[in-house]
Amino acid sequence: MARAKAATKKTAALNSNLVKSISAPLRKADDCLDKIIAGDSIEALRALPDNFADLVFADPPYNLQLGGDLTRPDNSRVAGVDDDWDKFGSFRDYDAFTRAWLEEARRILKPDGAIWVIGSYHNIFRVGSALQNLGYWLLNDVIWVKTNPMPNFRGTRFTNAHETLIWASKSKESRPTFNYSALKTANDDLQMRSDWLMPICTGNERLKGATGSKVHPTQKPEALLYRILLATTNPGDIVVDPFFGSGTTGAVAKMLGRRFIGIDRDADYIAAAAKRIAAVKPSEAQSLAVTPSRRSAPRVPFGSIVEKGLIKPGEELYAPQKKHVARVRADGSIAVKGPDGAVEGSIHKIGAHVQKAEACNGWTYWHYETKTGLKPIDFLREKMRNSARG
């Protein structure tokens, strides 16, 4: 009780422009955007309106179940996670807590919203089960490989050199944001993999208190949140972090032009996060554009390619190695010779037909002749898109 009163008093003295308390359910979340809500995570989530958030990023208590002090070989003490917020009476208690906040997180997400949850072997499997039971649709598990992990000083287990992130959409029917092409560009034109190599938070990035000790024991590196927000949100999107801690989510969101709502009940964490976020300089709007994914690009039917004259009626298209030949028709359909006469249809239908397959991406399957050899007709589609962009 004494700790709660002290926290309330300290929170009241914080920067009022960044910190807010909620006493009743909100009809709109506008008043809480770009602010830290001081209070219990589950209660604060319950006060937020339905279907307004684009993304939830959660770094919940891991329930580490640590017993006794951990020391290095030189007998110095390792500053582990021994705070009350990470302690639960039983797995049943932890599971009930997990279901409660995940249920509220799902409620506040837009129909096409998504969630990221990070954890260790202590809790992530229980979280994954709860996600599926509540109707989320799992998209990926991502392994954050720590390039500078803390050693296993006791020598009783493997060095724990990774944490697991689960990326899930609100439902199976959701179409969450995924900036595939932007990630591929950032990865030197290679498809981004699900194993991410990054160091743990150290040096100047690590927030320190007046005594030089860590402000928060599990502060996540900004690079991790940068990749997550770049990959699965767009400028202006709303990101909710129900376990805000040292404010990494808010700091990166502000930097990348996203809106955020953070929730935490610890006054020291809130104070450090508010100070940190206030010092962040947002990126200029014109610098926030990312390489668009083909999924979000304007639709260009093959008939438009023919109308534009980039491919003329009567010209031939070829399968790879010229295994099959198709003739272009005036309406944008194509025809191939068959034993019983010509077979006509779309580039996709005929591509599937000649391969005896259920489906085919005709844009990449069919090629046209150039002076330098065969090129996929997708090249012409991209040419039209670039022309439309100006």
Tell me the HSE value of 17 on the side-chain side, using a 13 A CA sphere: 3
Pairing between β-strand 109-119 and β-strand 53-58 as defined by DSSP bridges: parallel
Together in a domain, 105 and 222: yes
Together in a domain, 134 and 45: yes
Together in a domain, 157 and 68: yes
Together in a domain, 338 and 280: no
Q: Which of 244, 272, 294 is the last residue of a domain?
A: 294
- The set of residues, in sequence order, having a beta carbon less than 8 Å from that of 218 and lying 6+ positions away, is 59, 62, 81, 245
Together in a domain, 271 and 369: no
Q: Which of 230, 261, 294 is the last residue of a domain?
A: 294
**Could you tell me the residue range of the domain that residue 135 belongs to?**
2-294
Q: Are 180 and 156 in contact (CB under 8 A)?
A: no
Would you state the pLDDT for residue 293?
73
Our CA angle for 377, 379, 384, nearest 5°, is 105
Together in a domain, 112 and 149: yes
Q: Rounded to an integer, what distance in angstroms lies between the CA atom of residue 18 and that of residue 136?
A: 31
Together in a domain, 275 and 360: no
Q: Report the CATH number at residue 198.
A: 3.40.50.150
Together in a domain, 227 and 321: no
DSSP-based three-state secondary structure for 154: coil
Q: Which of 253, 279, 294 is the last residue of a domain?
A: 294
Q: Rounded to an integer, what distance in angstroms lies between the CA atom of residue 181 and that of residue 116?
A: 20
Low-confidence ranges of the chain (pLDDT < 50): 1-9, 11-13, 67-73, 75-78
Together in a domain, 289 and 331: no
Together in a domain, 312 and 286: no
Together in a domain, 315 and 262: no
Together in a domain, 301 and 290: no
Domain count across the chain = 2
Our CA angle for 18, 281, 231, nearest 5°, is 90
Q: Are 99 and 92 in contact (CB under 8 A)?
A: no
Q: What is the pTM of this model?
A: 0.74
Q: Is the dihedral of CA 209, 211, 217, 223 positive or negative?
A: positive
